[in-house]
Structure 1
Amino acid sequence: MRTFWRLLLPIVAAGAALLNSLSASAAPVPEKPKLHLAAAGVGFPYLPMVIADSRGYFKQAGLDVEIGVFSGGAKALQAMIGGSADIVAGAYSNTITMAAKGQKLVSFVTLASCPGWVFGVTRASHGKVKTYADLKGMRIGVSSPGSSFHMGVNYLLSKSGVKPGDVSIIGVGSSAGAIAAARSGQIDGLMSNDPVATVLQDSGDLFPLAVMRDPAGTRATLGGDYPEASIYTTREFVARYPNTVQAVTNAILEAERWMAQATPEQVAAAVPQQYALAEKAVFARAYGNMRSCISRDGLMTDAAAHTVLDVLTAFDPDIGKAGIDLKATYDNRFVENSGKH
């Protein structure tokens, strides 16, 4: 019997150690498993969020996520501030503009490390516009007034001395509405992203003045890396539901890892039809145009955050004077902790 126990005890001890190890490495249970996510749109910078949902990564993380798609970042932000959404898939820049107003928002996982923006002239005014300065007095389409698209337009125009009040800003959405507005002649210029930009370029309805579909083009136009899209929420939500924020982060990172090794055709196939905005072949080609913008690791860098602040300050000096603590607008802890669960 003593011999039996001598042989058994090491096995029992090993089993207990394994159970302890599995318990320690298990992901914590989300405190708030049912979430309302407000999406600024379904353009390509937001694809990791769409893929996390369609491929079941949110569910694997213990979450039931209800996604509401809005016509722009300003409206998605309003939904969260108004209490109808818990988190936002939107522009990181919103955390900075709201910090200037005393609102404490924090980005916790980056979706796209460059904006994928294409700013161009529509067919209606192609012959009249050669430079940004020629847009003075014209109608510029953006997803919604106050959105990151709008901020990007203001920055580009400011480089040619065109002030925000020198153009008419028109909200056209970021999907079918933008395509219709460009083709019908309702607008003279448009700030868009893919797949809308590719669809309009292919049909001869958009002629680019600036293209930010990859890191190099973004740096040349905006002066540095520009993280356009992220998942953000209030600092209060992060403090109250840290396990939930970790679960969201884990799901997004799973989506980014899958997208990094998937072909454009596989990504197109994984996107539900209501989010595709174009037939699969066009969608795949458009995704191939800007896939290098999709974040591979979900991290925010200090340099990228400063580029966003510089762009915002260029046309709104009050933001630069607000003394914003940039490090308070993003939190990399959840991305860094993801591999531990």
Structure 2
Amino acid sequence: MTVLGRRVLIALAAFAVASNAAAASAAPAPEKPRLHLAAAGVGFPYLPFVIADSRGYFKQAGLDVEIGVFSGGAKALQAMMGGSADIVAGAYSNTITMAAKGQKLVSFVTLASCPGWVFGATRASHGKIRTYADLKGMRIGVSSPGSSFHMGVNYLLSKAGVKPGDVSIIGVGSSAGAIAAARSGQIDALMSNDPVATVLQGSGDLFPLAVMRDPAGTRDTLGGDYPEAAIYTTRDFLVKYPNTVQAVTNAVIEAERWMAHATPEQVAAAVPKQYALADKDVFARAYANMQSCISRDGLMTDAAAHTVHDVLTAFDPDIGKASIDLKATYDNRFVENANKR
């Protein structure tokens, strides 16, 4: 490369840094710069918030985000409802289930447009399990009872006429605990996502019955696009702290833009060790299995929201009977503002 060429590249890089800094300074300051985020886990559908933190996008947006990782979406939701967290990185479906109970939660940026779930039999029982109907009387591992993993299991069972009470649901977490439970024979089947699913498949400890690692597989299994992971909060928080919500959204969208062009190896390198759940090679291979699920624009669609509602209704008639305004469970304004930057 010529000296002139190097100078041009340096100038362009400096201009990009200056432009990003100017955009950040032009944005309204967050009303609540110190935030507590409750994460349902650190499986791949949640990677955009991990990347937003590790690559400094939260700090660039003027935020100091303290992240607490829980063993499932139900517990992360409880943390927010109990007042120990401001926002949740969890399943969008929680906004619908809580709406049926009269609670107003709002998803404001989508992290994953398909769940990345892999549901299958463990080594101990795969010889007995060939279909969903064979799961009757079995022990099924999920991240935590009441989580989106649990809801997904119930939906798949309902397709085979197996009722929720016909199986034993066991909370095993969504990371090391799930791996240990599958390998030790504590469970007969497991609903998981990556990298756990890739690790267990690679070691011969998980035999899939359903794979939802891409939009096509998700549509085949669930009947449509299924936005599994999102960042949501209460309606009251969103109204009281709109600049803070916008700052969170800006940081997550920046992470999604970076991930859209990064290689699996680059993504693996950007994930802090405490969130990796596997060595870098396995992590990169697992991410490559489901990277098409990661949202590229953070948007929620009306059709996707209806798919989630339909899945929930299939096993919980009370949700079907409830008067729920689906459009009130998500708000795309913040993503639309971020995409104008």
Q: Deviations over 1:24-68 (max 9, x none)?
A: 991110000000000000000000000000000000000000000
Amino acid at match of 2:225: D
Give the letter for the 1:154 counterpart.
Answer: N
Equivalent position SS for 1:250 = helix
Superposed displacement of residue 323, structure 1: 1.4
8 Å Cα contact 2:24/2:60 also seen in 1: no
Instruction: After the TM superposition, list the runs of 4 or more consecutive aligned residues in structure 1 that deviate by more than 4 angstroms.
Output: 22-25
Structure 1 counterpart SS, 2:337: helix
Q: So what's the TM-score if we normalise by structure 1?
A: 0.93
Q: Does 1:117 align with 2:117?
A: yes
Match of 1:16 in 2: none
Separation of aligned partners in 2, 1:86 and 1:240: 12
1:23 Cα deviation after fit: 9.2
The match for 1:231 is 231
Where does 1:1-341 land on structure 2 (aligned, <5 Å)? 26-341=26-341
Relative to 1, partners in 2 of residues 1:33 and 1:189: Cα closer, same or farther, differing over 3 Å?
A: same
Size of the aligned set, in residue pairs, is 320
**Cα deviation code 1:220-259 (max 9, x no counterpart):** 0000000000000000000000000000000000000000
Q: Secondary structure at the match of 2:42?
A: coil
In the alignment, the residues of structure 1 paired with residue 23 and residue 177 of structure 2 have an alpha-carbon distance, to the nearest angstrom, of 49
Q: Which runs of 5+ in 1 are unaligned?
A: 1-21
**Counterpart-to-counterpart distance in 1, 2:25 and 2:273:** 37
How far the C-alpha of 1:339 sits from its partner, in A, is 3.5
Q: Distance in 1 between matches of 2:335 and 2:302?
A: 15
Larger radius of gyration, structure 1 or 2?
A: 1
Contact 1:25 / 1:340 at 8 angstroms: preserved in 2? no
Decide whether aligned partners of structure 1 residues 23 and 316 sit closer, same or farther in structure 2, where only a CA change above 3 A counts: closer
SS in 2 for 1:107: strand
SS of alignment partner, residue 126 of structure 2? helix
Aligned partners of 2:111 and 2:164: how far apart in 1? 28
Distance 2:23 2:103 in 1: 38
Structure 2: segments with no counterpart, 5+ residues: 1-21
Question: Percent of pairs identical after alignment?
Answer: 90
- 1:167-192 residue CA offsets vs partner (Å, 9 max, x unmatched): 00000000000000000000000000
Name the counterpart of 1:18. Answer: none
Distance in structure 2 (CA, Å) of the matches to 1:279 and 1:186 = 25
**Are the counterparts in 1 of residues 24 and 61 from structure 2 also a CA contact under 8 Å?**
no
